[in-house]
Amino acid sequence: MKLSSIEIYRKQIGVFHATLEDLLLAIDPTFFLEGRSGWVMGIGEIFVFHGASLSNIREASPSNALPKIHSEVERGTPLYLISAPFEPHSPLKISIPEFAITGSDNQDTVAVVAHCRQDSDFNYRRQQALLDSLEQLQIGAMDRLNYPPLVEDLHRLDSIAWSDRFDRAAEAIQNGTIDKVVLSLTTTATKTPAYKKGKAMLRLRKSLPTSHLFATDSYIGASPELLVDLKNSVAISKPLAGTRETQRRGELSSSTKDLREHDIVVQSISAGLLSHTNKVKVLAKELFDAGPISHIATEIQALDLSPELGLLDLLGSIAPTPAIAGYPSDEAIELIKSLEGERGLFGGFVGFMDDTLDGEAYLAIRSVRDLGSDLLFQAGVGVISSSEKDQEFHEIEHKIHAVHHPLHESLALTHE
């Protein structure tokens, strides 16, 4: 059966009063993403499309391979959930959940939508079970306990591996193969018996309130970086680069090295968007705080896009950006692969799209991967000709601590 001949039915099966905190403590979602316009929680999967990679989206949009939708839900609500690995040749995953719960920060009403493949296929028993558990939430089975640490101390970052990687990058920069490359390191911390995914997500959300909480496959994270928000033929991207502890954020505005790293990113994204419209606006640089660390940020807007364009078409033209890969892109990706192997979801993206293929996507960073008894932490930094090995190593430490600390501290998590 050709994918495009699958028909998906979706209908709203309930509206409840519940907070995101309650839901995350009660439900272990298959997918979660809190975007600028609201959040979506996916439970189960009734359709998974693994076909296209970012590289072949550049040539042909996968949109015509997506199912036909029969909807009892208003347009503009998330339908397709996306997770894409860093490697542009690896397939990305587009799925439709069995159930989607949606809501936004400024209201405590959540809507529950069910999807199925044929209009007679709705699984009413599973629907009832989910609705019953949401009813219970309303009654207020809330977990107000003080939480002990969810993870142990972090294992040390490998400074020898860093030194080798940095030297290889410096060599490639010196011989003119690349201008910028983003190198990363990983380390682990063991989970404590108190660890639960929902609790970990709530802690990240509380500590990194300007970031976008996500969960997919074995990853959770809170991304500070908007790759693309596409709505009504207008796209917005807000790349970051340059990192300081928040107390030293002022240094970023006058650091030629960080400003240059950032310009490489802004120029590359602008060029990608210019392939779709000649109306691209680059706004003024600003400083952006992501919990304990700050970055340089620039909003880029692309106007008057063709209504035919979908979120994935735009991602195909800009990702992986030099904020996570480097410049020139192919050479940087090649070097990263030889030094780090495959990154998987780290450095890829998570996103959602509605049935008009508008949607939002965020860079998959500030994340942890669940390895079973341990969590794997990973963070990267941009290296250019004026970068210093030790300073970049400390930047990686700061980024990893921004995610580890909230999971490690002893916290009284109350619902204000």
**Is 98 or 397 the residue whose CB approaches ligand ISJ more closely?**
397
**Is 228 or 357 the residue whose CB approaches ligand ISJ more closely?**
228
Number of residues that bind ligand ISJ (CB under 6 A): 17
Distance (Å) of CA 340 to CA 183, 239, 334: 8, 23, 10
CA angle 226, 245, 291 (to 5 degrees): 50
Q: Which of residues 146-175 bind ligand ISJ (CB under 6 A)?
A: none
Contact residues for 279 (Cβ-Cβ < 8 A; gap 6+): 302, 303, 304
By CB under 6 A, name the one of 381, 384, 407, 411 that touches ligand ISJ.
381
| Residue owning tokens 């959602």 | 352
User: Which conformational region is residue 146 in: left (phi greater than 0), alpha (psi within -120 to 50 degrees), or beta?
Assistant: beta
By CB under 6 A, name the one of 79, 134, 182, 230 that touches ligand ISJ.
182
* Residue span 258-297 as binding mask against ligand ISJ, x where in contact by CB under 6 A, dash where not: -------------------------------------x--
**Is 25 or 403 the residue whose CB approaches ligand ISJ more closely?**
403
Contact residues for 125 (Cβ-Cβ < 8 A; gap 6+): none
Does position 397 interact with ligand ISJ (CB under 6 A)? The reply is no
Least distance to ligand ISJ from the beta carbon of 194, Å? 26
* Residue span 293-332 as binding mask against ligand ISJ, x where in contact by CB under 6 A, dash where not: --x---------------------------xx--------
Closest CA to 384 of 238, 265, 258: 258
The end-to-end CA distance of the chain, in Å, is 51
**Is 333 or 365 the residue whose CB approaches ligand ISJ more closely?**
365
Least distance to ligand ISJ from the beta carbon of 401, Å? 11
**Is 101 or 364 the residue whose CB approaches ligand ISJ more closely?**
364
Least distance to ligand ISJ from the beta carbon of 363, Å? 7
Does position 85 interact with ligand ISJ (CB under 6 A)? The reply is no
Angle between helices 256-274 and 311-318 (to 10 degrees): 130
* H/E run at residue 270: helix 256-274
Does position 240 interact with ligand ISJ (CB under 6 A)? The reply is yes
Q: Which of residues 184-213 bind ligand ISJ (CB under 6 A)?
A: 184
What is the 3 state secondary structure string of 315-384?
HHHHCCCCCCCEECHHHHHHHHHHHHCCCCCCCCEEEEECCCCCEEEEECCCEEEECCCEEEEEEEEEEC
Q: Is the peptide bond before 67 cis (omega within 30 degrees of 0)?
A: no
Does position 401 interact with ligand ISJ (CB under 6 A)? The reply is no
Q: Which residues pair with 300 in a beta bridge?
A: 237, 282
By CB under 6 A, name the one of 88, 242, 326, 406 that touches ligand ISJ.
242
Closest CA to 203 of 217, 219, 222, 188: 222
Least distance to ligand ISJ from the beta carbon of 239, Å? 7
| Residue owning tokens 């390895």 | 371
Closest CA to 336 of 345, 349, 326: 326
Q: Are strands 180-191 and 326-327 parallel, antiparallel or unpaired?
A: antiparallel
Stretch that binds ligand ISJ, among 75-83, 312-320, 348-356, 373-381 (CB under 6 A): 373-381
By CB under 6 A, name the one of 30, 216, 243, 387 that touches ligand ISJ.
243
Does position 10 interact with ligand ISJ (CB under 6 A)? The reply is no
Least distance to ligand ISJ from the beta carbon of 72, Å? 40
| Residue owning tokens 């600003």 | 286
**Is 102 or 237 the residue whose CB approaches ligand ISJ more closely?**
237
Does position 221 interact with ligand ISJ (CB under 6 A)? The reply is no
Amino acid identity at 202? L
Does position 227 interact with ligand ISJ (CB under 6 A)? The reply is no
Least distance to ligand ISJ from the beta carbon of 229, Å? 16
Residues at the contact surface with ligand ISJ, assessed by CB under 6 A:
182, 184, 225, 240-243, 295, 323-324, 365-366, 379-382, 399
